[in-house]
Structure 1
Amino acid sequence: MYTGDSSDREARTFAGRVENNGIDPIINARSIAVIGASNRVGSVGLAAFKNLLSAGYKGVLYPVHPREKSIQGVKAYPALEAIPDFVDLAVVIIGADQVPGIVQSAADRGIKGCIVISAGFKEIGGHGVVLENRLKQIAASTGIRIIGPNCLGIINTDPDIRMNASFARIMPKSGNIAFISQSGALCTSVLDYAAGRNIGFSKFISFGNKADINEIDFLRYLKEDPDTQLILMYLEDISSGHAFMEIGKEITYQAGKPILVVKSGRSTEGARAAASHTGSLAGSDATYDAIFYQSGIQRVEGINELFNYAEAFSKQPLPRGNRVAIVTNAGGPGIMATDAAVRHGLKLATLSEETRAKLKTHLPPTASLGNPVDVIGDATHERYEAAIRTVVEDDGVDGAIVILTPQAMTDILETAEILPRVAADVNKPILGSFMGMVDVSEGVEYLQSHGIPNYVFPEAAARSMAAMVRFGERLATRERRRVITRMPCDADGVARFFRVKLAANEKAYVSEAEAYDIFAAYHLPVPRRRMIRDASEIDDAVAAVGLPAVMKIVSPDIIHKSDAGGVKVNLSTPEAVRSAYDEIIANALRYKADARIDGVLMVEMAGKGVEVILGATRDPAFGPICMFGLGGIFVEVMKDVTFRLAPMWELSAENMIRQIKSFRILEGVRGNPPSDLDALKQCIMKLSQLAADHPEIREMDINPLIVYPEGGGCVVADGRIMLERPRKGAV
């Protein structure tokens, strides 16, 4: 371990920092060794070292090069060991084969962190994977923290640090936004794009291959970072679903910082074959959507939308509700904004009579005093100011969108000056849409430099306002997001049953009769039922179950019973039951001659209600994920389903129900009564607990669950469970 002249004092100071998973010594490094710094034009080593110099880095730089005496006028050292002073951070820009040795040397000297910009690791496969595994071993055995490899680097705009430890072309201006990206190439484009929109950053982080420090570590750091009020992310995968959710919830609901994410890879083409509706519908993208929603994180469609939202979140207060007012000097754009607002969940505010009376005194007779407020194309900035101020002071307005189309008589700059002036007097968001690029450029520049986001077209402004509303609504529910409480169940009995089922096989199918017993152990509402293994048992079954009844084939070789003619419904007489029994057995053998037939299950006939599907599947990375949607045979065609990770709290179950497109059916339409949503919610939570308790459950469906009118409860009408022996290390 290195012990230079000044190391004791500096090491004690270093160890005394709030290191936050060892990231603080990297992001707030007071001294940096750049291994691979170079004077060679066009090299990454030169770009990275010049960036540190030109950014005005406040610490001490130690370029390391085996032959050069100086790099860009700064004394160079032939090796890391030759540096006489304590070093916080090593930035590594050398050939991949040399990297593990350098990182080991850095750890031996007591350096706390490395940024490995070098490429040539797992992204190329083969030998690169071996090298990256070596880096992981060094980090685990020594405690040194590593960002990368194969990354752009990191930037800290804090005036006391001014560190650009990257090879990006631009040092961004300071701001309250942190950007985290798995892609280094994307980062360079984002920096250029943000500079064009006058957007600044607190931290800008490219973490590459995640050999050690990952996105969850960075989120934990940023939660406590006082300079960061908004977090933007580009992700290709997540290291741990549940850990990501936990820190996401802490940042969102405790720290009150919004997180906006672009997650690439929405395709589900790589999903494995599934034996259940839930398994076939639950692709990895559905899992990510569930993770983000349960974490309070908003997923956005692309970089343009990411920064549209970021401008609003970083510059304006959150709206108290979803009632928006629109002020415009052109009818068409006002209608466009209205359509977009309503489509994304906003409501047009109803202006009070007092507000309308004030507007009437300021606007010409041809102006529209409703919402949108049309100040007419010849509006001066005085007319705009009167309209904007009057509207945002209305207690029924939670936020405003101001649209300007450039016309010959329009005071563009003077109108732009109004918005920040009015915003300073009210605690409500105001978004601008000065439409166009050239004529409005002076006004747009003024808006952006004075804290008012501007959007070329009003639809983007409406979407951004809606994103702010969604975040505000989630914050309002934070009191209902509590510790998940367990419901009564016989978890031990179910676990024993699963162990027996999987004793001799890697996988097993649970018959419907057995599935009913498992659901009953978790107090899900199951019907009366009886297994018939021989025709002589029919009379006893009729007496136990009652009529009318349903009969279903029970066979481990016939999963989709209806396809095999293995289901008969509405059997109302003993004679109909006997006939159905014989027909079901015959149909099953015609469908699959060698099918193993355990018997025929007789179940009491469920009354009429709304058919829904509940299900669960186990994602190999994130564990159990539950599904809800309208049920029946067309569920895979309609795909009107929602997902959440299990276990879940009550509010998650409520949101699963309310977020399907066909929720109105459950509310009651065309004279039908509203469904028992509370009973449905309880069923979802019980299924969630069942899935979370037993990692042996690979796929599970309840389809349909019949939901009766309010107060009538629910009943399981059909179910299937597929088991698989858990693999070592599975979630």
Structure 2
Amino acid sequence: MRAENARALDALFAPAGVAVIGATDRSGSVGRAVFENLQCGYTGHLLPVNPNRETVFGVPCVADPSQTEKPVELAVIAVPAAAVPDAVIASARAGCRAAVVLTAGFKEVGGDGVEREKELARLAREHDISVLGPNCLGVMNTALDVQLNASFASAAPQPGKIAFMSQSGALCTSILDYAREQRIGFSKFISFGNKADIDEVDLLHYLAEDEQTSVVLMYLEDLDDGQRFIHLARRMTGRAGGKPILAIKTGRTAEGAAASASHTGALAGTDEVYEAILAQAGVLRVDTVQELFELASAFGTQPMPAGNRVAIVTNAGGPGIMTTDACVRQNLSLARLSEETRDTMSKALPDNASLRNPVDVIGDARSDRYQVALDGVLADEGVDAALVVLTPQNMTDVEQVAHVVADASSRWPDKPVLASFMGGTDVAPGVRVLRDMGIPHYSFPENAARALAAMTRYRRWVDRPETEERIYDVDRGRAHTVISAALAEGRASLLEPEAIELLTAYGLPVPKTGLAASAAEVERVCAEVGLPVAMKVASPDVLHKTDVGGVELNLATIDEALAAFERLTARVHEHVPGADLRGVTVQAMAPKGREVILGAVRDPRFGPLVMFGLGGIYAEALKDVAFRLAPLRPLSAERMLDEIRGSAILGQFRGAPAVDRAALSECLQRLSQLMVEFPVIAELDMNPIILHDDGVLAVDARVVLTQPVAE
């Protein structure tokens, strides 16, 4: 399915009537569980469909969903896999615009199941019916005028502002149980299973316009269309009043990169692709279900902070220090309280209270001190958010303090307030009050700081300047000639001089370079590029030149260059007998500088992926890289520079000035344009790129092409 408007899934979430195909009152069956769930609240017409039953729980049963005069827009299908196609056809003919296929036994089991699922997808298109599943738990809508629970879950969630969607149905049941304990409500709860038709992007399209939903949570195992996901998620998250998307993406492995020919390909494992997709979409990625709901609790109840300045209010010095450390680690800034704020608090707090941030109201504090401190810090224009920490003392009325926290939050609706009542049994009554009053609570302040930091990151995303992709003036004809010549020879890679010429055609900075196939040509090329030079073997059979001793540097004279030519050719024949040696690449020596890597790889599903990271021979060992999908916008290129752990080397470093970030960003964007305009390029490395005093220089390049089709 490709939803063209937000109303395309109305029949799934708010149907005028529901037919349950496979409805039964047989104990332990899915058909019974889903029918009972629909009976418990659904406001529309409910039709059991089963040719072997006259009634189901007292409701007259029909053999076909068309045997009713009342409108039926949604079919919930709980029949064996082999019977699903006929059920879908019957549903469509009865006027159903959507179907939920709960049945398993499709592509997840392999073999015939794969073909069965392809047939299901074909039927959905052919009969113009939107299909959720198969192999899913179902769908729920808690809106009071709908109250739809078209699932076989054991219980429905309470209403809320959070929408949750998951590929895993089994995870859904665990989430529902956890959410009930944590008093977390949902607007929509969706298990979409195998995605034969409706996928996560279709669902996002609907939720983007759903007035009941303010936050979207996702559990993803894979994405089928990264570019489509980015486009919609950016539109959904990237504006004031937008809806945050929080996601768990499983499968952090990189085995698929093992056979790559380039550094970039080896570094671009499955997880790196998804990391790039989620980053460009403005989606906040989390690692655990606990973190997902800790963040959702804050996003679903609190306003976005204007900045990252946080005030801490505590009744204990040690936890106050712990909270401070946690905030600093999360790149939150401890707010500087104004003199006016401190003066106001000093009139009501004891002399031994700490009036600086964190504000310590002392261990014997009752609710009145918390009220003074919270009103003080929230009124301060230098404070963007408040984090309240409580440890249970003998005189602490935790319930009353919780009410004070909630009241203060309501008086300052533009500033988020998060709480950490540390403990267990003693603080439980206060925690219940906080959750009932919509104040996110965390057992430990580190978790609260993490949630608040995520909110500030999202706010920065929303406030980012919008930039459009830049299209540079390049020589596409020259690039086409270089690539065509290699393909005409049946080669799947470019020689380095060809790669350098390709980069030159796209305006990427490279040293003067030439190819020498003989001693005489070595002398000629050295004269053209200028001494000193670097020399490297040029052979389509040698991709990693350093592995065969195929690089010589700082050759200052013609004699040194000629001797190097002899050594290089001998080494190639020794290490790679029978290699197709085209000569040596002769290149003007680059100035000294810091080394980074720029690269690109073409993902078979999502298209070209651009990479930036620390470079040189340790690129794969360090694995300090950032990825984005092409086409690359200027802001995305800039953020890639900041994302690597070693980004400090781009600034002033050991007495050297900061590098030319603008030139480096432009290189990334030109590389992105090259990958978009030449789909035949499978992998590309520029490693290293030298960052020197006068700019940047790509001194080594490797280009792998898709294998040419044999004629």
TM range (shorter): over 0.9
Q: Secondary structure at the match of 2:6?
A: coil
C-alpha displacement of 1:503: 4.0
**2:487 equivalent to 1:502:** yes
State the distance in 1 between where 2:53 and 2:544 align.
Answer: 73
Select which of 143, 147, 159 maps to 2:128.
Answer: 143
Aligned pair count? Answer: 706
Counterpart mapping for 1:672-683 below 5 A: 672-683=656-667
SS of match in other structure, 1:706: strand
Instruction: Compute the RMSD of aligned alpha carbons.
Output: 1.7
Output the CA distance in 2 between the equivalents of 1:684 and 1:131: 44
2:244 to 258, 266, 289: 258
Alignment map for 1:356-375 (pairs within 5 Å): 356-375=342-361
The answer as to whether partners of 1:294 and 1:652 remain within 8 angstroms in 2 is yes
* Contact 2:496/2:702, CA 8 A, preserved across alignment: yes
Per-residue deviation, 1:497: 3.3
Mapping for residues 196-345 of structure 1, pairs under 5 Å: 196-254=181-239, 256-345=242-331
What residue number does 1:85 align with? Answer: 70
1:721 and 2:703 aligned: yes
**Distance in 2 separating the partners of 1:46 and 1:492:** 66
Aligned to 1:411: 397
Q: Is residue 616–residue 625 contact of structure 1 (8 Å, CA) maintained in 2?
A: yes
Equivalences for residues 446-485 of structure 1 within 5 A: 446-477=433-464, 480-485=465-470
Aligned: 1:45 with 2:27:
no
- Give the aligned residue type for 1:347: S
Distance 1:503 1:213, change over 3 A: farther
Q: Hey, what's the Cα distance between the residues in 2 that align with 1:648 and 1:458?
A: 38
CA deviation string 1:157-199 (max 9, x = no partner): 1111111000111211111111111011111111111111111
Shift of 1:18: 9.4
Shift of residue 556, structure 1, vs aligned partner: 1.1
SS in 1 for 2:122: helix
Partner of residue 604, structure 2: 620
SS, match of residue 347 in structure 2: helix
User: Is 1:155–1:166's contact at 8 Å kept on the other side of the alignment?
Assistant: yes
Structure 2, unaligned runs of 5 or more: none
Provide the residue aligned with 1:69 in structure 2: 54
* 8 Å CA contact retained: 1:324, 1:347: yes
Question: 2:524 matched to 1:529?
Answer: no
Question: How far off its partner does 1:388 sit?
Answer: 1.4
Range that drifts further, 105-114 or 679-688: 105-114
Q: In structure 1, what is the Cα distance between the partners aligned to 2:402 and 2:75? A: 47
Measure the CA separation in 1 of the matches of 2:162 and 2:638: 32
Q: Read off the aligned partner of 2:639 and give its amino acid letter.
A: N
User: Cα gap change, 1:161/1:359 in structure 2, threshold over 3 Å: closer, same or farther?
Assistant: same
- The verdict on how the C-alpha distance between 1:694 and 1:704 changes in structure 2, with shifts beyond 3 A counting, is same
* 1:12 equivalent in structure 2: none
In the alignment, the residues of structure 2 paired with residue 508 and residue 726 of structure 1 have an alpha-carbon distance, to the nearest angstrom, of 7
Normalised TM-score (structure 2)? 0.97
Q: Which residue of the partner structure matches residue 16 of structure 2?
A: 30
Give the distance between the partners of 1:591 and 1:287, measured in 2 at CA: 35
SS of aligned partner of 2:553: strand
| Secondary structure of the structure 2 residue equivalent to 1:715 | strand
Q: Indicate whether 1:182 and 2:164 are aligned.
A: no
**1:17-76 Cα distance to aligned partner (Å, 9 max, x none):** 99637311111101011111111111111110110111x111000111213222112221
**Matched letter for residue 426 of structure 2:** D
Q: 1:21 to 1:386 in 2, by over 3 A?
A: closer
Q: Closer, same or farther in 2 for the Cα pair 1:378/1:181, shift >3 Å?
A: same
CA apart distance, 1:330: 1.4
Structure 2 residue 445 is matched with structure 1 residue 445:
no
Structure 2 CA distance, aligned partners of 1:685 and 1:157? 45
1:592-647 CA distance string (max 9 Å, x none): 23221111111111112211100001111111111101111111111111010111
1:96 to 60, 70, 81: 81
Report if aligned partners of 1:22, 1:113 keep a CA contact under 8 Å in 2.
no
Moved more, 302-311 or 330-339: 330-339
Q: Which residue of 2 aligns with 1:558?
A: 542
Classify 1:202/1:61 alpha carbon distance in 2 versus 1 (closer, same or farther; 3 Å). same
Instruction: Check whether the contact 1:152–1:166 (CA below 8 A) recurs between aligned residues.
Output: yes
Q: Does residue 1:113 correspond to 2:116, yes or no?
A: no
Q: Within 1, Cα distance between the matches of 2:101 and 2:644? A: 45
Give the match's secondary structure for 1:432.
strand
2:381 maps to which of 383, 389, 395: 395
| 2:584 equivalent to 1:584 | no
Q: Deviations over 1:452-489 (max 9, x none)?
A: 10001111100000000000000010xx3333131111
* Percent of residue pairs identical: 48
Q: Decide which moves more: 313-322 or 589-598.
A: 589-598
* CA deviations over 1:103-136 (Å, ceiling 9, x no partner): 1121223321111111111111122222211111
Contact 2:613–2:644 (8 Å) recurs in 1: yes
Letter in 1 for 2:265: G
Q: TM-score, normalised by structure 1?
A: 0.94
Structure 1 residue 451: Cα displacement: 1.3
Confirm whether residue 172 of structure 1 aligns to residue 172 of structure 2.
no
CA distance in 2, matches of 1:21, 1:585: 67
Contact 2:467 2:633 in 1 (8 A): yes
With over 3 angstroms needed to count, the CA separation of the structure-2 counterparts of 1:20 and 1:383, relative to structure 1, is closer
Distance 2:257 2:119 in 1: 31
- Per the alignment, residue 423 of structure 2 pairs with 436
Aligned to 1:659: 643
Distance 1:604 1:29 in 2: 71
Q: Secondary structure at the match of 2:626?
A: strand
* Deviation >4 Å, runs of 4+: none
1:682–1:18 Cα change, 3 Å = closer
Aligned to 1:5: none
Letter in structure 1 aligned against 2:435: Q
Note the residue ranges of structure 1 that are not aligned, 5 or more in a row.
Answer: 1-16
TM-aligned CA deviation for residue 384 of structure 1: 1.2
Structure 1 residue matching 2:584: 3-state secondary structure: strand
Once the two structures are TM-superposed, the CA of residue 240 in structure 1 deviates from its matched residue by 0.4
Q: Could you list the per-position Cα deviations for residues 215-245 of structure 1 after superposition, in whole angstroms to 9, with x for gaps in the alignment?
A: 1110111111111111000010001010111
Asked if structure 1 preserves the Cα contact closer than 8 Å seen for 2:16 and 2:71, the reply is no
Separation in 2, partners of 1:18, 1:618: 28
Q: Secondary structure at the match of 1:345?
A: coil
Three-state SS of the structure 2 residue aligned to 1:213 is coil
Q: Does 1:382 align with 2:364?
A: no
Match of 2:139 in 1: 154
SS at match of 1:80: coil
Report if the CA contact (8 A) 1:215-1:239 is conserved: no
Instruction: Please tell me whether the aligned partners of residues 154 and 165 of structure 1 are also in contact (alpha carbons under 8 angstroms).
Output: yes
Pick the aligned partner of 1:423 from 398, 404, 409: 409
- Work out whether residues 513 and 585 of structure 2, in 8 Å CA contact, stay in contact via their aligned partners in 1: yes
Q: Which residue of 2 aligns with 1:643?
A: 627
CA contact (8 A) 1:19 1:25 kept: no
Cα deviation, 1:235-268, whole Å, max 9, x if unaligned, reads 1000101011111111111461100000111122
